[in-house]
Amino acid sequence: MDKLLPHSVKNIALISLLILGIIWLTGFTPAAIFELESENALWVLKDLFLLCLLLLSFSKEKQESEAVRSLRYKKLAGAVIFAALSISLGSLYSLIIGSGIYKQVSGYEILVILLIFYLLTFNFAKFNQQ
């Protein structure tokens, strides 16, 4: 049973990430267009960035095979372990070295770390297989 999104969704996500990158680099804020406060506009852009990462992560490859599917699951498990370790070690570091000041990590940061690590390791391993 295959629950992945179609490959065309990956192209939409890449184009959307490109547009978001241009918006970020130019400093253009859509706050004036949508009559939002700048902080709310920033959260909308962050949510769109996270949505693009999710779409990239869970869309099929052009040639989806059993080997690619197995690689996908291995790298996803590794990304979850990496995110958990980075959160745990970051908390431990801030408690020991940061004079007891603990900075709580948001769910958004956790998901972004996990998805970026997954996308990097999956694509690197996929291209090394070829």
Q: pLDDT tens across 80-110, in order? A: 999 999 888 887 877 777 766 666 778 888 8
Burial class (CB in 10 A: 0-12, 13-18, 19+), 105: middle
**Does 2 score more than 90 pLDDT?**
no
What predicted TM-score, i.e. pTM, was given to this entire model?
0.83
What pLDDT sits at residue 1?
43
